[in-house]
A and B are shown apart, each in its own frame.
Chain A
Amino acid sequence: MPESNDHFTPYPDHVLENVLENVLAFLHSRRDRNAVSLVCRSWYRAEAYTRSDVFIGNCYALSPRRVTDRFTRVRSVTIKGKPRFADFSLLPVNWGAHFTPWVSGMANAYRTLEKIHLKRMSVTDDDLAAVANSFPRFKELVLVCCDGFGTAGIAAVVSRCRGLRVLELIEDEVSDDYVDWISCFPADGPTNLESLMFDCVESPINFESLENLVARSPLLKKLGLNRFVTIGQLHRLMTRAPQLTHLGTGSFSPPEQPEQHEHHENDNNRVSDYVSAFASCKSVVCLSGFREIAPEYLPAIIPVCANLSSLNLSFANINAEQLKPVIRHCHKLRVFWALDSIGDEGLQAVAETCKDLRELRVFPIDATENGEGLVSEMGLLAISIGCRKLQSILYFCQQMTNAAVVAMSKNCPDLVVFRLCIIGRFSPDHVTGEPMDEGFGAIVKNCKKLTRLAVSGLLTDRAFSYIGQYGKLVRTLSVAFAGDSDIGLKYVLEGCTNLQKLEIRDSPFGDSGLWSGLPRFYNMRFVWMSSCRVTREGCLDVARQLPRLVVEVFRRDEEEGGEKSDFVNTLYMYRSLDGPRADAPRFVNIL
């Protein structure tokens, strides 16, 4: 809420502006705010003055200065950096997305900053120290898929940010600086911690300090442990924090000591101990972790299953028989992540019980192309029949049929996200031998709310004609090893009028396909094309036609020299208000 009124004036315009500011304080959606800011200058100013949460979808779309000049009273900043294909080693490691200029830009401008949320940024320990030192009211740090920092940086934040409420480290690469960061929280008195998640930190944790910390954090609702926390230690933490709602369970196995396994009767006692620990955590709605699960302990979670809305078993190598006793209690489950080790049979069990399921992700335990296919079209079909309210699916498999995908398109009309990854490249429908065009075509045609699509398998240009024709709401499209010719890309760029993010690899799309997107590129967040058939000249042409587009060309393996083939290895382009970035490494050519 804006504080005291600085513009005391008799002019009616300013009165109106003050009223507007007061009203806008209630407006939170950034899309609505963007619309408001376009009405007129006065509304633009009022909106800028009242925007407290700033979202930056591409850190290179503008400079930090532009943000701090426009929005002067910001409490929360969200910044996204690298394109998603960086997750799969397709982006050279020191490509960019550095947080440093942002933290230094904000340090002076946003003294009251409370929350920083970063995704795929390179964050250094010095950056984290700067955060700790620059923002006296700092409360929330959420880092997702970031790298470049270590336990030393975390220690700096937890030791100096006394008001810290949220520290969430999610799928980051955190180096082990051998710093006992968990002991660096202020030593005495209760903390303000509401959420502490460090599942991804790959270094041992000082358990005594952790237990002490949890015991004096009465507001703690979310706790995500890393795999160095054993099930016995988890038990102790749960008794300290029965009010938890979100729990990442750590390794979920006993420590590896030979003598432990000699006492089987103790094991049985232990399981029942753990059962009672879960029974007393009545508020738990979200479970994850299970990093090194000893499957015989899984039934310990049964007491909370009936209330679970989210269950992440995606690190648990368990089979259907081990899953069933647990999943059959999870009637309220909305989100389920698992490994394909549960098989089609496990998915069938999910389909029978989880009628409210909204999101499913099935990851492969064996991510090789000739691997054993543990789930197939049968599992997909079962889910589509049992979970009619499904909105989001990510499914890895070795084989699939059009029929199953078509069935899902009809059974699950609410699908917003459909990501199917048939691991064998160019795999056709394994029953008919046909391309997978019809399956994906049915998805875009029948799922009228679809905004995100990832395709795989053998696909011809026809699949892309369907996507262009029906995928009018699609904002994100991922393509790999698909299509026949430029026409495929043309269909998509001309047809998908809401396309924001396009990522393509290893597909035969070239310059003429690329050029068909010229009218669209300023409306998109980015386009990524790697190992396709675009040439340097083609990219240069785009850069010339669209001066506000930053067109980056580079090789994945960072060679600076001439292209080994005629085609550009990687093209990554995005709109920018402030021109090409100054921090591009030498191997990146900006055209």
Chain B
Amino acid sequence: MDQTRSTLDLFNNVDLTTELRLGLPGSDGKPENVKSSLSGNKRTSSEMGSSSCTDENESRYSPPTKEQVVGWPPVRSYRKNILQVKKTESEMGSGMYVKVSMDGAPYLRKLDLKMYQSYEELIKGLQVMFKCVIGLYSEREGYNGSQHVPTYEDKDGDWMLVGDVPWEMFISSCKRLRIMKSCEARGLGEFV
């Protein structure tokens, strides 16, 4: 009964931000605070540091940045997750798709990292997609206690534990995801 149901909740207890982050000096790296310090009506893109400027937008007032803002637009993550599961087979568009495999599952899936704005949401999405329980992350012990451990391959080809680096760094370096069985994932946890 004291199961991993609330592990997701506990997962969010852990402060995933580290001192290392990508951002302009003097900014606190949080998009919403940067926005709220705007004055006047000027909201042009030159005021925003953007690490992931993507495609063109024909409007004169193109959105200042393509960074994702937490909780915006106000669509419940419940809806986002459901649609994510179905979207994987359809058009790619401008998403940030990575392959996801789970040990023991016969098929690979594809997942758009841009659909998520935090580790919490990503883990929830993985759990929905693969109908598994991943649960609790801690800096010290990784995903101790869960049967499944999410890992990813980064730009350098190394396999890392999901959750170790700040979210923004993760989505820019993640090439593919693999949900390992916890018995095989021991070695990764010790890297921290």
Q: Does B18 have its Cβ within 8 Å of any Cβ on chain A? A: no
| A484 and B5 form a contact (CB under 8 A) | no
B152 to A: closest C-beta gap in Å: 21
Q: Are B36 and A507 touching (Cβ within 8 A)?
A: yes
Q: Is B64 an interface residue (CB 8 A)?
A: yes
Q: Which of B32, B54, B66 has the largest number of chain A CB atoms within 10 A?
A: B32
B16-37 near A? 1/0 per residue, CB < 8 Å: 0100000000001010110111
Judged by a CB distance under 8 angstroms, whether A465 is at the interface is no
Nearest CB of B to A342, in Å: 14
Which of the four size classes fits the interface of chain A? Answer: 35 or more
Contact B5–A148 (Cβ < 8 Å) = yes
Interface flag for A291 (CB, 8 Å): yes
In the complex, identify which listed stretch (B55-63, B156-164, B178-186) lies at the interface while the others stay far away. Answer: B55-63
CA–CA, A152 to B5, complex, Å? 10
Known contacts A365-B83, A484-B41; is A428 also within 8 Å of B61 by CB?
yes
A314→B64 CA distance, assembly (Å) = 30
* Residue contact A87 to B76, C-beta cutoff 8 Å: yes
Query: Which chain B residue has the least Cβ–Cβ distance from A203?
Result: B131
**B8 — which chain A residues lie within 8 A by C-beta?**
93, 175
Interface membership of B118, Cβ < 8 A: yes
Whether A458 lies near B61 (C-beta < 8 A) is: yes
Q: Is the CB of A175 within 8 A of B61?
A: no
Task: Kindly list chain A residues whose C-beta atoms are within 8 Å of the C-beta of B78.
Answer: 171, 173, 200
CB distance from A401 to the nearest CB of B (A): 12
- Could you say which residues of chain B place their CB within 8 Å of the CB of A396? 73, 75
B-contact 0/1 string along A89-111, CB 8 Å cutoff: 11011100000000000000000
Chain A nearest CB: distance from B168 CB in Å?
14
A44, CB-defined interface residue at 8 Å: no
Known: A363-B75, A368-B114, A506-B32. A148 touches B40 (CB 8 A): no
* Distance A291 CA – B128 CA, assembled complex (angstroms): 13
Q: In the complex, identify which listed stretch (A233-241, A271-279, A551-559) lies at the interface while the others stay far away.
A: A551-559
Is there an interface contact between B74 and A88, defined as CB atoms closer than 8 Å?
yes
Judged by a CB distance under 8 angstroms, whether B68 is at the interface is yes
Q: Which of the segments A57-65, A72-80, A419-427 contacts the partner chain? A: A419-427
B12 at the interface (CB under 8 A from A): yes
CB distance from B78 to the nearest CB of A (A): 6
Please give, as numbers and ranges, the residues of chain A lying within 8 Å of B17 by CB-CB distance: 557
Residues of chain B contacted by A428 (CB below 8 angstroms): 61
Q: Which of B114-152 contact A (CB under 8 A)?
A: 114-115, 117-118, 120-121, 128, 131, 133
Cα A505 to Cα B39 in complex, Å, equals 16
What is the distance, in angstroms, from A585's C-beta to the closest C-beta of chain B?
9
CB-CB under 8 A from B4, the residues of chain A are 175
How near does chain B come to A91, taking the closest CB pair, in angstroms? 9
Interface of B (DSSP majority class): loop
Contact of B5 among A175, A424, A481 (CB under 8 A): A175
Chain B contacts for A578, CB-based, 8 A: none
* Contact A559 B35, beta carbon cutoff 8 Å: no
Contact of A508 among B39, B55, B73, B85 (CB under 8 A): B39
Contact A148-B72, Cβ < 8 Å, known A89-B120, A203-B131: no
Q: Is B80 a contact of A367 with CB atoms below 8 Å?
A: yes
Q: Are B13 and A558 in contact (CB under 8 A)?
A: yes
Select B75's contact among A364, A460, A556, A564, beta carbons within 8 Å: A364
Which among A92, A315, A369 is the interface contact of B63 at CB below 8 angstroms? A369
- Please state if A93 and B83 are interface contacts (CB–CB under 8 Å): no
Contacts of A480 in B (CB 8 A): 72, 74
B71 on the A face (CB < 8 A): yes
Question: What are 29 contact pairs spanning A and B, CB under 8 A?
Answer: A87-B74, A87-B77, A88-B70, A88-B74, A88-B76, A94-B9, A150-B3, A175-B5, A177-B5, A200-B78, A202-B131, A203-B131, A292-B85, A315-B82, A317-B83, A365-B83, A367-B75, A369-B66, A372-B93, A399-B59, A424-B59, A425-B63, A425-B72, A426-B64, A427-B61, A484-B40, A506-B32, A506-B36, A557-B17
Mark A residues whose CB is within 8 Å of B.
85, 87-90, 92-94, 125-126, 147-150, 152, 171, 173, 175-177, 200, 202-204, 227, 291-292, 314-315, 317, 339, 363-372, 396, 399, 421, 423-428, 430, 433, 458, 460, 478, 480-481, 484, 505-508, 530-533, 556-559, 564-565, 567, 569
Instruction: Enumerate the 7 nearest inter-chain pairs by beta-carbon distance, A residue then B residue, closest first.
Output: A88-B71, A175-B5, A93-B12, A531-B32, A150-B5, A423-B73, A93-B9
Known: A369-B63, A564-B28. 4 other contacts (CB 8 A): A89-B71, A149-B5, A423-B73, A557-B17
